[in-house]
Amino acid sequence: MKRAFDHLLLTCWILLVTHPAFSCFRPFFIAKKSTKSLPQEYRLRGLLESGPLLQQQRSALLVSMLPTDSGAEEGSDKPSSSRLIQPHQDRSSPAYRQLMAHLGARIRQGSLVSFPTETVYGLGANALDEQAVLKIFAMKRRPLTDPLICHVGGLSGEGGALALLDVGDREREVVERLAATFWPGPLSIIGKARGIVPPEVTAGTGFVAVRCPNSSLALDLISASDRPIAAPSANLFGAISPTTAQHVLKNFPQEDLVILDGGSCHVGIESTVIKLEMGEREGEDWDDRICINRRGRVSKEMIEECLRQAGAEMASIRVYVSPKIDYGRGSASEDVARAPPSASEAQESPGMLLSHYAPSVPTYLISVATTDTSSGTGIDIHPQEESPALPPPSKCVLIDMGSRMRDLRGEFAAYFDLCEAAEHTASDESAFLEEAMRSLFATLHEAEAAAVERGCGLICVGVADDASDMGEPALALYDRLYRAASGRRLHLYRSGAAGWRLRRQTAE
């Protein structure tokens, strides 16, 4: 009964805001500044702030604001095209400074600039300007339930991290400690947001993620704009992340966008995202925790080591991986039980959804089956999905990791290797992983292009069958591959005279 009433209430709200007959009421619900250039869906967002919405209503509204594919672009009467700019090599040259001053002004005026960081290319806007931030969501076709990371020049100062975070003394100490160790670098820290941070940036959660990127172009842009810059990866929502300026241009060829070309990103996967969970004092101890919401280059062990070095009190903070992202390590049936967050709920952190970083061609994790039983009743991880017949390997692209499946490359239409093992010894595992991370997204882009060009129906990614014995750094890489494949796995097996075949993974 209550649900029905809530639903009715919500319908009335939406009608009030969208129906022409009620247009005279609209100014009350819509942000004061002109929103003409934004898609209609985003104008609804005035509702988010217009009173104590129930969580359920808020979720429904956020979903209703998802951009639709069919929606004709408003303002497309004046087609623009994105511009790629190569900055002068010498950072002290007048040309370089002029360019930065120009781009800084562009950010302040509410326009978008794509810029390189050490992790991936970002699609940046003034984090304190709601209208500018909404342009990011519109351009990326990103649901408003996915929060953005604010890029800052450092901890203190007007545009610094502490101007955005509403933290108590203890949290502040931890933030300072982590920033001193990992910034500038690939660690994003989530804390309670101050009032100046617009709800679009926090996905209405009241928490904001901040990070100081280790890239001189990014830092110069932040400094020239004199604003924190909210920036998700510069690609369409859910697609493969961009690690070159050309990847960004491919995603957004015709937008009002300037892309700052800084070559390839050297870390290559997105930052680690952590959330501070400082608890109450319990007797002598504090119940303090740090939750890893997205795996990245900065591992759990590195964070623990940093805290340990800061003395006994900080060493007692427990660092753990959010159960929401810690799936994909066991058997298929366990994965089903641990359902990932859905896109219609407000997310605590970007990068938590199951299907992410995904090529446009269906992608699967594969492993080589040791047995030869092709008659097993395959269970699919996604039983609700239509399962089309699997093509032969000669109609698939293979992505290998460390040349483990090199012998099989002749069976596939195209072969890529994230990292050639021959160059590395076992003791060199971290160098191996770093190279694989660096080349991950570029390789996915190449594999996607090869698959389209050769009419291949599948991209197969050869990874270990079970991630439970992987070390923490390898898990960040595995996390991206798992999401690129939306958690789907296949077995490659040899079927007598028919040669190599693919089949769905069977239950244990």
Ligand X SMILES: *[C@@H]1O[C@H](CO)[C@@H](O)[C@H](O)[C@H]1NC(C)=O
Q: Which residues of this chain interact with ligand X, rule CB under 6 A?
A: 118, 185, 214
For the chain, how are helix, strand and coil distributed in percent, rounded to 5?
35, 20, 45
Nearer to ligand X, 202 or 271 (CB): 271
Phi and psi at 158, nearest 5°, equal -60, -45
Each as own residue / partner, the long-range contacts of residues 99-104 (CB below 8 Å, 24 or more positions apart, any chain) are 100/220, 100/221, 100/223, 100/224, 101/224, 103/221, 103/224, 103/225, 103/258, 103/260, 104/221, 104/223, 104/224, 104/225, 104/226
Residues 115, 248: contact at Cβ < 8 Å? no
Smallest distance from the beta carbon of 298 to ligand X, in angstroms? 9
Smallest distance from the beta carbon of 310 to ligand X, in angstroms? 17
Instruction: List the structure tokens of 272.
Output: 């680690």
Smallest distance from the beta carbon of 497 to ligand X, in angstroms? 53
Distance from the first to the final alpha carbon of the chain? 44
Nearer to ligand X, 219 or 401 (CB): 219
Smallest distance from the beta carbon of 272 to ligand X, in angstroms? 12
Smallest distance from the beta carbon of 117 to ligand X, in angstroms? 10
Smallest distance from the beta carbon of 118 to ligand X, in angstroms? 6
* Tokens 């994003």 found at: 188
Amino acid (1-letter code) at residue 450: A
Alpha helices in 67-113 (DSSP H): 94-108
* Tokens 């991936």 found at: 120
Give dist(CA 230, CA 508) in Å, integer: 45
Nearer to ligand X, 214 or 443 (CB): 214
Nearer to ligand X, 66 or 302 (CB): 302
Nearer to ligand X, 334 or 428 (CB): 428
Smallest distance from the beta carbon of 485 to ligand X, in angstroms? 28
Smallest distance from the beta carbon of 153 to ligand X, in angstroms? 15
Nearer to ligand X, 61 or 307 (CB): 307
> Crossing angle of helices 169-182/300-308, nearest 10°?
110
User: DSSP 3-state assignment of 325?
Assistant: coil
Residues 6+ apart with CB under 8 A from 328: 335, 467, 478, 479, 482, 487
Give the residue from 89, 131, 132 showing the smallest Cα distance to 113. Answer: 132
Nearer to ligand X, 118 or 288 (CB): 118
DSSP 366-384: EEE-SS--TT--B--S-TT
Instruction: List the structure tokens of 321.
Output: 């991986």
Give dist(CA 378, CA 252) in Å, integer: 39
Smallest distance from the beta carbon of 304 to ligand X, in angstroms? 17
Smallest distance from the beta carbon of 263 to ligand X, in angstroms? 11
Smallest distance from the beta carbon of 295 to ligand X, in angstroms? 16
Phi and psi at 165, nearest 5°, equal -95, 135
Instruction: For residue 319, count other CB atoms closer than 10 A to its CB.
Output: 17
Nearer to ligand X, 82 or 214 (CB): 214
Q: What is the biggest distance separating any 2 CA atoms in the chain, rounded to whole angstroms?
A: 74
Nearer to ligand X, 292 or 353 (CB): 292
Smallest distance from the beta carbon of 269 to ligand X, in angstroms? 13
Smallest distance from the beta carbon of 233 to ligand X, in angstroms? 18
Nearer to ligand X, 185 or 268 (CB): 185
Residues 251, 142: contact at Cβ < 8 Å? no
* CB burial string 187-216: b at 16+ within 10 A, e below: bbbbbbbeeebbbbbbbbbebbbbbbbbbe
- Give Cα 456 distance to the centre of its chain: 27
Cis peptide before 116 (omega within 30 of 0): no
Nearer to ligand X, 117 or 486 (CB): 117
Nearer to ligand X, 185 or 204 (CB): 185
User: DSSP 3-state assignment of 257?
Assistant: strand
Nearer to ligand X, 214 or 241 (CB): 214
